[in-house]
Protein backbone atom coordinates (compact mmCIF):
# COMPACT_ATOMS: atom_id res chain seq x y z
CA UNK A 1 0.00 0.00 0.00
CA UNK A 2 1.47 3.35 -1.05
CA UNK A 3 1.55 6.40 1.17
CA UNK A 4 -1.23 8.00 -0.86
CA UNK A 5 -3.51 5.13 0.10
CA UNK A 6 -2.88 5.30 3.87
CA UNK A 7 -5.33 8.16 4.35
CA UNK A 8 -9.00 7.49 4.91
CA UNK A 9 -12.08 9.21 6.33
CA UNK A 10 -13.93 8.47 9.55
CA UNK A 11 -17.52 9.56 10.02
CA UNK A 12 -17.92 11.11 13.46
CA UNK A 13 -20.38 13.25 15.35
CA UNK A 14 -20.08 15.77 18.14
CA UNK A 15 -23.03 16.12 20.52
CA UNK A 16 -22.91 19.42 22.36
CA UNK A 17 -25.44 19.97 25.14
CA UNK A 18 -26.25 23.62 25.46
CA UNK A 19 -28.55 25.86 27.44
CA UNK A 20 -29.52 29.17 25.93
CA UNK A 21 -30.76 31.92 28.27
CA UNK A 22 -32.54 34.68 26.36
CA UNK A 23 -32.37 37.00 29.39
CA UNK A 24 -35.09 39.19 30.91
CA UNK A 25 -35.78 41.20 27.77
CA UNK A 26 -36.09 38.42 25.21
CA UNK A 27 -37.83 36.10 27.71
CA UNK A 28 -40.77 38.51 27.61
CA UNK A 29 -40.92 38.17 23.81
CA UNK A 30 -40.83 34.36 23.95
CA UNK A 31 -43.33 34.08 26.83
CA UNK A 32 -45.78 36.29 24.92
CA UNK A 33 -45.30 34.20 21.78
CA UNK A 34 -45.71 30.94 23.70
CA UNK A 35 -48.71 31.88 25.89
CA UNK A 36 -50.68 34.25 23.68
CA UNK A 37 -49.25 33.75 20.19
CA UNK A 38 -48.47 37.47 19.97
CA UNK A 39 -45.40 38.93 18.34
CA UNK A 40 -43.91 41.82 20.27
CA UNK A 41 -41.45 44.21 18.70
CA UNK A 42 -39.47 46.85 20.58
CA UNK A 43 -39.86 50.56 19.81
CA UNK A 44 -36.95 52.97 20.25
CA UNK A 45 -38.02 56.03 22.29
CA UNK A 46 -35.72 58.23 20.24
CA UNK A 47 -36.12 57.31 16.57
CA UNK A 48 -39.33 55.30 16.85
CA UNK A 49 -38.00 52.31 14.91
CA UNK A 50 -39.73 49.06 15.81
CA UNK A 51 -37.30 46.18 16.00
CA UNK A 52 -38.44 42.66 15.15
CA UNK A 53 -36.81 40.58 16.53
CA UNK A 54 -36.86 43.00 19.47
CA UNK A 55 -33.67 44.39 20.92
CA UNK A 56 -33.12 46.20 24.19
CA UNK A 57 -30.75 48.87 22.82
CA UNK A 58 -31.43 50.76 19.61
CA UNK A 59 -28.69 49.99 17.09
CA UNK A 60 -28.81 53.53 15.69
CA UNK A 61 -29.48 55.76 18.72
CA UNK A 62 -27.86 53.50 21.34
CA UNK A 63 -30.82 54.29 23.59
CA UNK A 64 -32.34 51.74 25.94
CA UNK A 65 -35.65 50.48 24.60
CA UNK A 66 -38.44 49.97 27.11
CA UNK A 67 -41.57 49.98 24.99
CA UNK A 68 -43.10 46.93 23.40
CA UNK A 69 -45.11 47.24 20.20
CA UNK A 70 -47.21 44.37 18.93
CA UNK A 71 -46.62 43.69 15.27
CA UNK A 72 -48.83 41.83 12.81
CA UNK A 73 -48.63 38.14 11.94
CA UNK A 74 -48.45 39.15 8.31
CA UNK A 75 -45.64 40.91 6.56
CA UNK A 76 -43.67 41.50 3.42
CA UNK A 77 -40.82 39.37 2.12
CA UNK A 78 -37.72 41.57 1.93
CA UNK A 79 -35.36 38.88 0.70
CA UNK A 80 -35.03 35.12 0.52
CA UNK A 81 -32.63 32.32 -0.26
CA UNK A 82 -33.28 28.75 -1.35
CA UNK A 83 -31.08 26.01 0.10
CA UNK A 84 -30.53 23.18 -2.37
CA UNK A 85 -27.93 21.04 -0.63
CA UNK A 86 -28.53 18.54 2.14
CA UNK A 87 -26.86 18.55 5.52
CA UNK A 88 -28.02 16.53 8.53
CA UNK A 89 -28.21 19.66 10.68
CA UNK A 90 -30.59 21.53 8.36
CA UNK A 91 -33.99 22.35 9.84
CA UNK A 92 -35.80 21.00 6.73
CA UNK A 93 -35.14 18.60 3.87
CA UNK A 94 -33.61 20.49 0.95
CA UNK A 95 -34.79 22.30 -1.05
CA UNK A 96 -36.13 24.73 1.51
CA UNK A 97 -36.26 28.49 1.73
CA UNK A 98 -35.28 31.08 4.30
CA UNK A 99 -36.78 34.53 4.18
CA UNK A 100 -36.26 37.94 5.71
CA UNK A 101 -39.72 39.14 6.66
CA UNK A 102 -40.77 42.66 7.58
CA UNK A 103 -43.87 42.18 9.67
CA UNK A 104 -46.59 44.83 9.53
CA UNK A 105 -45.77 47.49 12.09
CA UNK A 106 -42.08 46.55 12.24
CA UNK A 107 -39.18 48.38 10.63
CA UNK A 108 -36.69 45.51 10.51
CA UNK A 109 -36.64 42.05 9.03
CA UNK A 110 -37.07 38.77 10.89
CA UNK A 111 -35.15 35.81 9.51
CA UNK A 112 -37.23 32.63 9.41
CA UNK A 113 -38.21 29.58 7.39
CA UNK A 114 -40.61 29.86 4.47
CA UNK A 115 -43.06 26.99 4.06
CA UNK A 116 -46.11 25.75 2.15
CA UNK A 117 -44.67 27.26 -1.00
CA UNK A 118 -42.83 26.14 -4.11
CA UNK A 119 -39.43 27.89 -3.77
CA UNK A 120 -39.65 28.78 -7.47
CA UNK A 121 -42.72 30.91 -6.77
CA UNK A 122 -41.09 33.10 -4.14
CA UNK A 123 -40.92 36.80 -4.96
CA UNK A 124 -39.44 39.73 -3.08
CA UNK A 125 -42.34 41.89 -1.92
CA UNK A 126 -44.83 39.04 -1.61
CA UNK A 127 -47.10 38.88 1.45
CA UNK A 128 -46.48 36.15 3.99
CA UNK A 129 -48.08 35.08 7.24
CA UNK A 130 -46.69 33.42 10.38
CA UNK A 131 -47.89 29.87 10.99
CA UNK A 132 -47.77 29.27 14.74
CA UNK A 133 -47.45 25.83 16.26
CA UNK A 134 -50.32 24.45 18.31
CA UNK A 135 -47.97 23.38 21.09
CA UNK A 136 -45.46 26.11 21.82
CA UNK A 137 -42.30 25.80 23.89
CA UNK A 138 -41.09 29.40 24.14
CA UNK A 139 -38.55 29.59 21.35
CA UNK A 140 -38.39 30.98 17.84
CA UNK A 141 -39.58 27.70 16.30
CA UNK A 142 -42.98 28.33 17.95
CA UNK A 143 -43.39 30.01 14.59
CA UNK A 144 -43.35 26.95 12.36
CA UNK A 145 -42.66 29.01 9.25
CA UNK A 146 -44.10 31.82 7.15
CA UNK A 147 -46.45 30.91 4.30
CA UNK A 148 -47.63 33.06 1.41
CA UNK A 149 -50.92 34.87 1.87
CA UNK A 150 -53.44 33.92 -0.84
The binder of another protein chosen from 36, 45, 46, 67 (CB under 8 A): 67
Q: Does 16 bind another protein (CB under 8 A)?
A: yes
Q: Does 11 bind another protein (CB under 8 A)?
A: yes
Q: Does 27 bind another protein (CB under 8 A)?
A: yes
Please name the helix (run of DSSP H) or strand (run of DSSP E) that holds residue 30, with its range, or none. Answer: helix 23-36
Taking the CA of residue 71 as centre, how many other CA atoms within 13 Å lie in the half-sphere pointing to its CB?
A: 30
Number of residues located near another protein, criterion CB under 8 A: 34
What are φ and ψ of residue 146, in 5° steps?
-110, 135
Cβ 123 to another protein shortest distance, Å: 33
Q: Are the CB atoms for 106 and 71 separated by under 8 Å?
A: yes
The binder of another protein chosen from 46, 66, 79, 94 (CB under 8 A): 66
Q: Does 13 bind another protein (CB under 8 A)?
A: yes
Task: From 5-13, 78-86, 114-122, 124-132, give the range in contact with another protein by CB under 8 A.
Answer: 5-13
Q: What are 42-49's contacts with CB under 8 Å, separation 24+? A: 42/67, 42/68, 42/69, 43/67, 43/68, 43/69, 49/107, 49/108
Q: Which residues bind another protein (CB under 8 A)?
A: 3-4, 6-28, 30-31, 66-68, 88-89, 138-139
Amino acid sequence: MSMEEWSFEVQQKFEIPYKYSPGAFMSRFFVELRDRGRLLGARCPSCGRVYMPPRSICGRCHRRIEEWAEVGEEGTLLSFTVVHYKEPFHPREAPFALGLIKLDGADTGLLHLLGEVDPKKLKVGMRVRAVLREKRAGNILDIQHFRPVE
